[in-house]
Amino acid sequence: MEDLPRQVRICQNTSCRKLGSAKVLAAFQALPVEGVEILATRCLGQCGNGPMVLVLPDAIWYGGVHPDEVPAVVTKHLQGGTPVKGMLYST
């Protein structure tokens, strides 16, 4: 069976952009992880709680993400396999 693609989707729609999602996207792009795709997406349906980040295929959400928090997501979650508890968002 083929593995599902690993992706980080970062909302770049109006509400998240006002909250700084462009810088969050840039922070992920600055720390590439092999085999993980970084994608700018349209609204993820959680406006007002952004910047919203969705990690697939784990279906783990992060809300109110600050660019300074991105390295923790990269090292602990994307590389280490453990989501960053203090940043989790439930839909």
In the complex, the residues that contact ligand FES under the rule CB under 6 A are: 11, 13-16, 43-47, 50, 52
> Is the preceding peptide bond at 5 cis, omega within 30 degrees of 0?
no
CA distance 19 to 21: 6
Strands 36-41 and 53-56: unpaired
Smallest distance, Å, CB 1 to ligand FES?
Answer: 31
Smallest distance, Å, CB 61 to ligand FES?
Answer: 10
Q: In the complex with ligand FES, which residue's Cβ is closer, 14 or 29?
A: 14
Smallest distance, Å, CB 34 to ligand FES?
Answer: 27
